Chain A
Amino acid sequence: MAMIDEPLYPIAVLIDELKNEDIQLRLNSIRRLSTIARALGEERTRKELIPFLSENNDDDDEVLLAMAEELGVFIPYVGGVEHANVLLPPLETLSTVEETCVRDKAVESLCRIGAQMREQDLVEYFIPLAKRLAAGEWFTARVSSCGLFHIAYPSAPETLKTELRTIYSQLCQDDMPMVRRSAATNLGKFAATVEASHLKTDIMSIFEDLTQDDQDSVRLLAVEGCAALGKLLEPQDCVSHILPVIVNFSQDKSWRVRYMVANQLYELCEAVGPEPTRSDLVPAYVRLLRDNEAEVRIAAAGKVTKFCRILNPELAIQHILPCVKELSTDSSQHVRSALASVIMGMAPVLGKDATIEQLLPIFLSLLKDEFPDVRLNIISKLDQVNQVIGIDLLSQSLLPAIVELAEDRHWRVRLAIIEYIPLLASQLGVGFFDDKLGALCMQWLKDKVYSIRDAAANNVKRLAEEFGPEWAMQHIIPQVLDMINNPHYLYRMTILHAISLLAPVMGSEITCSKLLPVVINASKDRVPNIKFNVAKVLQSLIPIVDQSVVEKTIRPCLIELSEDPDVDVRFFATQALQSSDQVMMST
């Protein structure tokens, strides 16, 4: 047994626990791997710690994941970039394990290290590693190798580059669909590093193979490659190579492939340029908006604004808007909901006239939708329309929609609309709010569900922030304080909570004159829960009000509560008193 100096004791234990039986302790040690490395020094880290980690790799996945992550930032601890290659062997082993998240992390760390390595080291160590993994016996190694090519390729000499391209194309034809999926996923990244001349030949032929794969899951990922490759190619090559593929995909038999196209299509518009967009992509997109499968329509509807932003308004009005009208009465509520979440964004794109003429009727019909999510989505994006046409045209329909949502029987719906009230208030203005919505906000404070009361208290505070203390004095405070006399203690508690939130917004003067008396009064409540909440609120008021008020009003009340028969009341009162002592000492 070695004798360890007292200060080294923690590190020595940390090292020992790398091999502890308790997984939590091993994890802890791995997370502190940099500390261990610094204690051992750079040389011993290279010669002992890293080989030690390479050998002991049949640990639990949680530990391996942590190890893969730590090693990614380990270059400083092994002596800098010139020694970075010593980190490759343990990560190579980690990138072959069965657990996907460990492999992914190992590949990520390998890439991070590779990106910093010197060119000759990449050729000597990193490229052979990528090749070894690509020739791996188990599919796990081959899956990982696909993610390394974009780091390996740029520094490879010419002959090696040819070989790497060949290997990648083999990976795209691997027997295991998992490997092909990984190759498809990483194709965009790899292609970005390949020279333009090879891009058009080698990479495009790889890509075409993937687009014809018989596994749907591989073709799905090839769709993603379309956008990535499209950005790399010259517009005319993009038109001749990518466009036909994407048009084909948009009519694929598998709805999942069409779903991916619906999600990605707008990204291709820029790559192909305006003319092919008009002639090919717009018709393809229109088809997707009218797809048989609701899932595809959901994806397409969700991108309608993004797509329209790329088109000129004329095209959008002519081709897309008719589809949007159809979608607003779609049989699937999820389609309507997806549309409602983005449609307001079309207003700035189409301009004032078209919005009033064409979009407004759609907004209004969606505001009356039977499905609350649709209405909520419209309301949540109100500001975007407000900028274009003002709120007046909408307000007539808005109010019934809000009132209905505010009284929905599902508390989650009520919660959602409360969250939007400050936004609505700012868009609609004080006048509208006073007339119509003020009463609703008070009503929520008396909701049956705690979450709603809680959100309502918060809402009152945000309104006070939005419209200022003066307005709040007139329109909120009296009504709120009135409710402290509610016979049910839970509602009284909500008011106490609201007061503690309002106090900082209202400022010292109003707090002392209006809020504090109410709180002090509540300390005489018959329910202990109210009393200890009074203690908590008083504690929160101490920093806001003047010192003299603390002495004259708050402390006497707290002292009284600290002698209450109820143990909880005494506890919180004592705690509040202690905190007031601290405030006094600090001033």
Chain B
Amino acid sequence: MIGGGGEEATAPAPAAEGSQPLDWKFAQVFGERTAGEEVQEVDIISAIEFDRTGDHLATGDRGGRVVLFERTDTRDHGGHRRELERMDYSNGRHPEFRYKTEFQSHEPEFDYLKSLEIEEKINKIRWCQAANGALFLLSTNDKTIKFWKVQEKKVKKVCDLNMDLSRAMGNGPVVSSSISASSKSCMANGGFDERSSGYSSIDTSLPSGGLSSLRLPMVTSHETSLVARCRRIYAHAHDYHINSISNNSDGETFISADDLRINLWNLEISNQSFNIVDVKPANMEDLTEVITSAEFHPTHCNTLAYSSSRGSIRLIDMRQSALCDTHSKLFEEPEVPGTRSFFTEIIASISDIKFAKDGRHILSRDYMTLKLWDINMDRGPVATFQVHEYLRPKLCDLYENDSIFDKFECCLSGDGHRVATGSYSNLFRVFGCSEGSTEATTLEASKNPMRRQVQTPTRPSKSLSTLPRVLRRGADTSGVDANGNAFDFTTKLLHLAWHPTENSIACAASNSLYMYYA
């Protein structure tokens, strides 16, 4: 899947001020599609996540694979690791990544009790605290979460053994005089049972000075290879499909959320989890709302937020009780009278929420907008950004072809000054959200991200006048022709991630991973 390499970027990134619109440039692409190439379903990227330092990037795909990338432009890796742990790492150049390794995280399964196929598709990836140079991450499909450790291992070559091959193999043919690791293990397996009985007699008959004819094997290693090992599997805790996982700031617990429940796990304990939120009604016919996304607060270990299909975000204080039936705060936008339509509820559904790094703000994405909330203000969002307002007249079509149920992710920049999210036709949008900013950029996931912006808007935004709200911005209609046909609903940019410390975005267009910087 990953074929493409990086492209050398020459222009140095300008020092971006919070209020100044960023000038986005193409950085790299991995797995770029050649013209006419058909995309394999399994290669389509379904999750993207930077680690906390921004030195690593992970993607998951529908084929259950996880691919890791590492940053190549960091100052030499000899920097004090304790500093790295503190994450106060910055760099002058724009981030450049290279393919590091990949592994098969999930396989397709069949649940025989429920007669259900369980797809291998990776729904979410979350990085955990690195230790001793090994990387740790959680990956999940619909049902099962796995904890992975990726580590460099020495390729060992063992020599200078005690046993002569010919003796050990009895009458068997001696293939070669040098002992290779594989032939040795075969010999060892062969004669094992008979030997084990000999230990006890040996134990009692050893001379006190030791035996000089015995020697320890020599181990030489010249090269290392990356090995991914699944350390723990957290399974059988979800009746519905898992939509989110999120690590706690305490470094020992995480949550997993499905449509109706949120469970709390200890990273080290895979056979037990605690249900902390349960919105399942006694009678499923009374079901009006499902959980769509959940995330822990970045620093407060006892706070988490989850979003719902009715467009609300609830803040939970885990200190209050073991089962958090009651939320401590509810964020909802009051419905504007007279605007209700058949689609109102569908498009209100929140597909993703993210806490800003400061923990003060929450970004949410529903079908038509991005909303930024201040957790100290539950009256309404502090800012609303129209992502693709030109689609509003076409909601009926989008409903017919099910596109209206697409789940777009959203992300914030590390400094919290900007937000980004995806749209159709492989477009994504970046908005400035600091005070006074009018930044609203449309980019295309291609080698020429600004291509779309060259075109001039064909008509003024209608929605601006009908919906009087101060902070409604970004309703530009660039790139759409008079009939609005140019948009391709099949090429949707659902997944993207912002680098934690720099203005760099990684986004997935089908099977290709595009990276941009400013």
Does chain A have a CB within 8 A of B339?
Answer: no
B162, A4: Cβ atoms closer than 8 Å:
yes
A175, B215: Cβ atoms closer than 8 Å:
no
Does chain A have a CB within 8 A of B34?
Answer: no
Number of interface residues of B (CB under 8 A): 66
A13, B162: Cβ atoms closer than 8 Å:
yes
A19 to chain B: which residues have CB within 8 Å?
156, 158, 217, 219
Closest to A1 in B: B164
A397 to B296, CA, bound (A): 51
Closest to A257 in B: B319
A177, B250: Cβ atoms closer than 8 Å:
yes
- How far, in Å, is A151 (CB) from chain B's closest CB? 24
Give B160-185 interface residues, CB cut-off 8 Å to A: 161-165, 167-168, 181-182, 184-185
Answer whether A254 and B213 are a contact pair too, CB < 8 Å, given A178-B251, A178-B252, A217-B301: no
A96 to B161, CA, bound (A): 30
Closest to B165 in A: A1
Does chain B have a CB within 8 A of A237?
Answer: no
A254 to chain B: which residues have CB within 8 Å?
302, 318-319
B322, A98: Cβ atoms closer than 8 Å:
no
A210 to B290, CA, bound (A): 39
A292 to B321, CA, bound (A): 8
Does chain A have a CB within 8 A of B393?
Answer: no
Answer whether A13 and B163 are a contact pair too, CB < 8 Å, given A39-B210, A177-B250, A216-B319: yes
Which of B63-71, B201-209, B340-348 is found at the contact surface with chain A? B201-209
B85 to chain A: which residues have CB within 8 Å?
138-139, 175-176
B217, A18: Cβ atoms closer than 8 Å:
yes
Out of B156, B198, B322, which one reaches A255, CB within 8 Å?
B322
Answer whether A7 and B205 are a contact pair too, CB < 8 Å, given A13-B163, A41-B210, A216-B301: yes
Closest to B154 in A: A58
Answer whether A15 and B217 are a contact pair too, CB < 8 Å, given A9-B195, A177-B251: yes
B136 to chain A: which residues have CB within 8 Å?
98
A3 to chain B: which residues have CB within 8 Å?
164, 213
Give A310-342 interface residues, CB cut-off 8 Å to B: none
A99 to B136, CA, bound (A): 11
A22, B188: Cβ atoms closer than 8 Å:
yes
B210, A2: Cβ atoms closer than 8 Å:
no
Give A127-143 interface residues, CB cut-off 8 Å to B: 137-140
B188, A25: Cβ atoms closer than 8 Å:
yes
Out of B131, B163, B300, which one reaches A138, CB within 8 Å?
B131
A139 to B250, CA, bound (A): 13
Taken residue by residue from 24 to 67, chain A's Cβ proximity to chain B (1 for < 8 Å, 0 otherwise) reads as 01001000100100111111110011001001101000000000
- How far, in Å, is A421 (CB) from chain B's closest CB? 32
Out of A9, A18, A96, which one reaches B132, CB within 8 Å?
A96
Closest to A252 in B: B319
A177 to chain B: which residues have CB within 8 Å?
249-252, 301
A214 to B195, CA, bound (A): 57
B168 to chain A: which residues have CB within 8 Å?
13
A38 to B204, CA, bound (A): 10
Chain A interface residue count: which class? 35 or more
A292 to chain B: which residues have CB within 8 Å?
321
A434 to chain B: which residues have CB within 8 Å?
none
Does chain A have a CB within 8 A of B189?
Answer: yes
B321, A8: Cβ atoms closer than 8 Å:
no
Answer whether A137 and B217 are a contact pair too, CB < 8 Å, given A217-B252, A294-B322: no
Taken residue by residue from 277 to 292, chain A's Cβ proximity to chain B (1 for < 8 Å, 0 otherwise) reads as 0000000000000001
Answer whether A100 and B268 are a contact pair too, CB < 8 Å, given A16-B161, A138-B131: yes
- How far, in Å, is B277 (CB) from chain A's closest CB? 15
- How far, in Å, is A302 (CB) from chain B's closest CB? 15
Does chain B have a CB within 8 A of A295?
Answer: yes
Taken residue by residue from 255 to 293, chain A's Cβ proximity to chain B (1 for < 8 Å, 0 otherwise) reads as 110000000000000000000000000000000000011
From DSSP, what is the main secondary structure of chain A's interface residues?
Answer: helix
Taken residue by residue from 117 to 155, chain B's Cβ proximity to chain A (1 for < 8 Å, 0 otherwise) reads as 000000000000101111010000000000001000110
B219, A139: Cβ atoms closer than 8 Å:
no
A39, B214: Cβ atoms closer than 8 Å:
yes
- How far, in Å, is A254 (CB) from chain B's closest CB? 4
Answer whether A13 and B215 are a contact pair too, CB < 8 Å, given A21-B181, A216-B301: no
A12 to B198, CA, bound (A): 12
Closest to B185 in A: A21
Does chain A have a CB within 8 A of B112?
Answer: no
What's the count of A-B pairs with C-beta under 8 Å? 179
Answer whether A40 and B132 are a contact pair too, CB < 8 Å, given A138-B85, A216-B250, A255-B322: no
Give B419-434 interface residues, CB cut-off 8 Å to A: none
Does chain B have a CB within 8 A of A383?
Answer: no
Does chain A have a CB within 8 A of B116?
Answer: no
Answer whether A40 and B210 are a contact pair too, CB < 8 Å, given A4-B163, A15-B217, A52-B216: yes
- How far, in Å, is B263 (CB) from chain A's closest CB? 16
Give A185-228 interface residues, CB cut-off 8 Å to B: 214-217
A22, B185: Cβ atoms closer than 8 Å:
yes
Taken residue by residue from 88 to 102, chain A's Cβ proximity to chain B (1 for < 8 Å, 0 otherwise) reads as 000000001111100
B86, A175: Cβ atoms closer than 8 Å:
yes
Does chain B have a CB within 8 A of A419?
Answer: no
A8 to chain B: which residues have CB within 8 Å?
202, 211, 213-214
Does chain A have a CB within 8 A of B191?
Answer: yes
Out of A4, A28, A255, which one reaches B319, CB within 8 Å?
A255
Out of A42, A140, A176, which one reaches B210, CB within 8 Å?
A42
B318 to chain A: which residues have CB within 8 Å?
254
Does chain B have a CB within 8 A of A5?
Answer: yes
B213, A4: Cβ atoms closer than 8 Å:
yes
A10 to chain B: which residues have CB within 8 Å?
195-196, 198-199, 202
Does chain B have a CB within 8 A of A14?
Answer: yes
Does chain A have a CB within 8 A of B114?
Answer: no
A12 to chain B: which residues have CB within 8 Å?
162-163, 214
- How far, in Å, is B52 (CB) from chain A's closest CB? 12
Out of B198, B211, B219, which one reaches A40, CB within 8 Å?
B211
A32 to B165, CA, bound (A): 22
B: which residues have CB within 8 A of A? 80-82, 85-86, 129, 131-134, 136, 149, 153-154, 156, 158, 161-165, 167-168, 181-182, 184-185, 188-189, 191-192, 195-196, 198-199, 202-203, 205-211, 213-217, 219, 231, 249-253, 268, 299-302, 318-322
- What 4 pairs between A and B have smallest CB-CB spacing? A41-B210, A254-B319, A12-B162, A10-B198
Could you give 7 example pairs across A and B, Cβ below 8 Å?
A13-B163, A21-B181, A22-B188, A32-B199, A40-B211, A138-B85, A214-B299
A: which residues have CB within 8 A of B? 1-5, 7-22, 25, 28, 32, 35, 38-45, 48-49, 52, 55-56, 58, 96-100, 137-140, 175-178, 181, 214-217, 252-256, 292-295
Known: A19-B217, A20-B185, A252-B319. 18 other contacts (CB 8 A): A1-B163, A2-B215, A14-B199, A15-B216, A16-B161, A18-B216, A21-B185, A38-B206, A41-B208, A41-B209, A41-B211, A45-B210, A58-B153, A96-B132, A99-B231, A214-B300, A216-B302, A216-B319
